[in-house]
Chain A
Amino acid sequence: MNAVDPDFLEKITSLLADPAYQSNPLCQPLADLLEYSEQQRLRLERVLRISDGYQHLARHDKHNLLLQYDRQVRRLEKLARISDRYQNSLREVSEALKEAALHDPLTHLGNRRFLMERLREESERATRQGLPYAVGILDVDHFKRVNDQFGHELGDEVLCKIAGAIEGALREYDLCGRWGGEEFLIILPDTTISFAVPVVERVLAEIRSIRIALPGQAFGGVTASIGITAYLSGESYAQSINRADAALLAAKAAGRNRIELAVAGEPLSCDDGAVRTSRK
């Protein structure tokens, strides 16, 4: 039998109303049972209605939560996207600043700060691993004359060409930079002084071969002098630099356009490949 069969209820009601059964003792209890059943039916319907209402409400809430969740996820993605872009732009700025802080804007070579950092690293490495490295200070000969005779613009061009010449003559793992003014520093890692000499000779030869075309004027070219030394394990790089500087002065004093070698305490001179001893 289904939950509510109207025909069935109808039949009971008409039986109860039939005068022929009024004296039947089951008549009243049956009427009570019918009433009770009707009440239960109404009760059940009410429970179902309330339950459905709750379910509907829960579904509605869930739907809203999903919408909110999607919205928050989209917001978070947008926030992350924008924030990442800001972060990237900061990183680019920081890279550019780092580049600017370590490079010479004219020649694009490393600047003094860059060189000092490398000298420190190379000295630590050389001391730790017992490997030699050579360092040279190069100074352009009579650079003031170039500036005075042809102007600072050409002077700047000469410096750029010299920077290019040095870079071109060095081996891939050698380092160079602008030490200041018309002075350049060369670092030759894993290199003894005798292996450094041919590399440095190549540098000077490259500088001699620089040609600049000037309308109506003859630019006679430039030469450079260089003092080189080997880093001594355990010493401060400033000591090596001082030795190289002294060798550079000796090269200047000996007539420029040449290499002078300095061993600790005893500078050596090298002219066009022919090495000779000379006192400071």
Chain B
Amino acid sequence: MNALTIEGSQSTPYIVADWDKGCLLMKGDSYPENSFDFFGPVIDWIERYLADTSAPLRLELRLVYMNTSSVKAMMDIFDLLEAVHAQGRAVRVDWFYDPRNERVLGLADEFREDCSFPFEIGIDA
């Protein structure tokens, strides 16, 4: 299964992964009851994509609120990207935020710390 779509809810983000384009989008608030269960398929998809192809991977994030376990899942994902980036794989993160919610800018910046792959933070137009 190379397709991954998770419909968003009040407490979980909308997630869609496009294997052919090498792009994974996450959008919305993230405070699932069980982050391990929720992010498991996402992390699986990323691991399979990185193992089965050699194409670039781009993460497009439009996340607003995240609970602690979601923050941890996101750090795990960034660690995966960091590891393959060290081996020369083209990976990048584009994080868009609503200019009405400037706090997200500071948070995305905090996430970006320690990441050596391209990590852009931009205003959601």
Contacts and interface: CB of A to CB of B under 8 A. Distances in A.
Interface of A: 74-75, 78-79, 81-83, 85-86, 89-90
Interface of B: 65-68, 71-72, 75, 103, 106-107, 110-111, 113-114
Contacts of A85: 103, 106-107, 110
A86 B67 contact: yes
Contact of B71 (A74, A86, A89, A90): A86
Given A81-B110, A82-B111, A75 B65 contact: no
Contacts of B111: 82
A261 to B, nearest CB: 50
A2 to B, nearest CB: 51
Given A85-B110, A86-B66, A86-B67, A78 B75 contact: yes
Contacts of A75: 75
Given A78-B110, A78-B113, A83 B75 contact: no
A91 to B, nearest CB: 11
B65 A82 contact: no
Contacts of A86: 65-68, 71, 107
Nearest to A87: B68
Nearest to A92: B103
Q: Which 3 A-B pairs have the closest CB atoms?
A: A83-B68, A89-B103, A82-B71
B54 to A, nearest CB: 27
A78 B78 CA distance: 13
A79 B72 contact: yes
B65 A90 contact: yes
A83 to B, nearest CB: 4
Query: Chain B interface mostly helix, strand, loop or mixed?
Result: helix
A75 B79 CA distance: 10
B65 A79 contact: no
Contacts of B114: 74, 78
A86 B66 CA distance: 7
24 contacts: A74-B114, A78-B75, A78-B110, A78-B113, A78-B114, A79-B71, A79-B72, A82-B66, A82-B71, A82-B107, A82-B110, A82-B111, A83-B67, A83-B68, A83-B71, A85-B106, A85-B107, A85-B110, A86-B65, A86-B66, A86-B67, A86-B68, A86-B107, A89-B103
Nearest to A75: B75
A265 to B, nearest CB: 53
Contacts of A82: 66, 71, 107, 110-111
B107 to A, nearest CB: 6
A74 B65 CA distance: 22
A74 to B, nearest CB: 8
A22 B67 CA distance: 90
Contacts of A89: 65, 103
Nearest to B68: A83
B115 to A, nearest CB: 11
Given A82-B111, A86-B71, 11 more contacts: A78-B75, A78-B113, A78-B114, A79-B72, A79-B75, A81-B110, A83-B68, A85-B103, A85-B107, A85-B110, A90-B65
